[in-house]
């Protein structure tokens, strides 16, 4: 008689579920590496008919700020999670890694094509700006590809992550994000976590400067533990900066000195797209401090999430940000949705334009931060320079929040007294 124990039956059922489960979005993940292909196709069409197809110079901004948010809203959310029994199967499937890698050759083809177009003498200034913005969008989205690769443990993936970051000159992200942001996320000490009442335009210089400084400190400490100095060949910051310098040098040799301002402009715009996503991801959220001075572990409540399926397909499920912080090395296809994680009202792509407009952003997001903390705004990560103003403004029950409008500090004092 071959009777099975309950544990054996449970394992058998789990294995059966894993075998039966299929990733319904398996081939839709190709949408992300399709982005640079779309960009290259638009720029090629512009090159063929620059007078008739001038609008294609702006294809990148149109895609990220218009087309993707519109389709996102039309299709909606997808909250399905892979069963735990299928996670290992997904992690071991090399197809998904090949999807990520396929972004890089198209990224560089689009970058070089755009640089050639953007440095031609007969291209109007408005078109030149549009082409730089389009290439910047491609390389901004490439930072997400670098993010996926940079969390792998093998050396080849980390080098490829820096290659994806090289066109934006943001290769330090591979160091700071992994060993700085993931340690300090949702704390006042993290340059990549935005604060309640802090506009994106105030956050931007703080995160750019703070990120560079943090990366240098992290890399110095890593090299010191190995008995090496900063100017070592093992320095990942120097390796990344060399990649960016190499791309700049090759482009200048091919297309002339006009390539330098073009690549700087598209890189700055591309990097700003990363930082506006950073701004969105942890806005106002703060981990509690324990009696010993340490912060509680990162949990789902410390990241803003969203399940709009189209943006998730383009960004490798970056919007399932809570699970990413819980399992940084987990591949995108296995990331899960948490019901108790704070949710954004729309996908990341739809939140970009509101983030650029402080008054609109505060109107959309501040009440969500307040509700998340059950009306106790003191639990939020608040901009220290606006702390008193914000405590007066939002030191009320959630039900009264919508009645509070923008006002001067004096008017806020009057409302608080009343």
Give me the DSSP letters along 197-251: T--HHHHHHHHHHHHHHHHHHHHHHHHHHTT--TTSTT-HHHHHHHHHHHHHHHH
Per-residue pLDDT at 278:
97
pTM confidence score: 0.89
The angle at the Cα of 184, spanning 136 to 239, to the nearest 5 degrees, equals: 50
Per-residue pLDDT at 399:
52
pLDDT at residue 13 is higher than 50: no
Q: For 23-27, 54-58, 203-207, 239-243, which range has the lowest pLDDT when averaged over its residues?
A: 23-27
What are the residues facing 196 on neighbouring strands?
382
Tens digit of each residue's pLDDT (9 = 90 or more) over 91-134: 999 999 999 999 999 999 999 999 999 999 999 999 999 999 99
CA proximity to 120, closest of 61, 24, 46: 46
Q: H/E element holding 112?
A: helix 103-118
Range list of H helices, 256-347: 259-281, 309-314, 321-326
pLDDT at residue 252 is higher than 50: yes
What is the C-alpha to C-alpha distance for residues 207 and 198, in angstroms, rounded to an integer? Answer: 12
CA proximity to 218, closest of 191, 171, 169, 180: 180
Greatest mean pLDDT among 46-60, 83-97, 402-416: 46-60
Tokens of 96: 């998904």
Question: Which residues have a Cβ under 8 Å from the Cβ of 294 and sit 6 or more positions away?
Answer: none
What is the C-alpha to C-alpha distance for residues 133 and 14, in angstroms, rounded to an integer? Answer: 48
What number is the average pLDDT over the span 77-85? 90
Residues 103 and 32: beta-carbon distance below 8 Å = yes
Locate tokens 């008017």: which residue? 411
pLDDT at residue 54 is higher than 70: yes
Work out the widest C-alpha separation in the chain, in whole angstroms.
85
């Amino acid at each position: 008689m071959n009777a099975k124990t309950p544990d054996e039956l449970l394992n058998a059922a789990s294995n059966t579920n894993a075998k039966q489960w299929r990733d319904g979005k398996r081939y839709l993940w190709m949408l992300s590496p399709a982005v640079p292909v779309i960009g290259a196709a638009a720029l090629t069409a512009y090159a063929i008919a620059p007078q008739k197809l001038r609008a294609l110079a702006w294809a990148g901004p149109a895609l990220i700020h218009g087309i993707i948010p519109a389709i996102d809203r039309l299709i909606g959310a997808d909250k399905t999670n892979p069963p735990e029994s299928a996670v290992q199967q997904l992690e071991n499937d090399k197809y998904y890694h090949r999807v990520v890698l396929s972004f890089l050759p198209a990224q560089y083809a689009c970058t070089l094509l755009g640089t050639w177009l953007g440095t031609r003498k007969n291209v109007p200034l408005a078109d030149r700006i549009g082409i730089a913005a389009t290439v910047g969008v491609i390389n901004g989205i490439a930072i997400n590809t670098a993010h996926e690769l940079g969390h792998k443990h093998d050396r080849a993936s980390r080098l490829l992550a820096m290659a994806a970051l090289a066109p934006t000159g943001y290769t330090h992200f591979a160091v700071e994000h992994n060993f700085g942001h993931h340690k300090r996320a949702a704390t006042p000490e993290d340059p990549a976590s935005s604060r309640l009442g802090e506009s994106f335009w105030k956050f931007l210089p703080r995160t750019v400067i703070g990120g560079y400084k943090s990366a240098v400190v992290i890399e110095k400490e890593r090299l010191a533990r190995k008995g090496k100095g900063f100017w070592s060949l093992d320095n990942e910051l120097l390796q990344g900066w060399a990649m960016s310098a190499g791309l700049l040098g090759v482009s200048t040799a091919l297309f002339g000195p006009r390539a330098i301002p073009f690549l700087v402009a598209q890189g700055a715009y591309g990097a700003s797209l990363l930082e506006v996503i950073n701004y969105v991801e942890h806005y106002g959220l703060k981990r509690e401090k324990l009696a010993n001075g340490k912060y509680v572990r990162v949990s789902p409540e410390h990241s803003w999430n969203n399940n709009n399926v189209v943006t998730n397909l383009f960004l490798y499920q970056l919007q399932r940000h809570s699970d990413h912080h819980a399992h940084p090395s987990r591949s995108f296809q296995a990331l899960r949705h948490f019901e108790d994680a704070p949710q954004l009202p729309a996908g990341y792509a739809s939140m970009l334009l509101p983030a650029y407009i402080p008054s609109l952003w505060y109107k959309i997001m501040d009440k969500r931060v307040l509700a998340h903390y059950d009306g106790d705004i003191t639990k939020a990560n608040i901009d220290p320079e606006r702390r008193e103003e914000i405590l007066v403004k939002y030191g009320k029950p959630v039900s009264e929040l919508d009645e509070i409008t923008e006002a001067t500090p004096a008017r806020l004092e009057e409302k608080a007294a009343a």
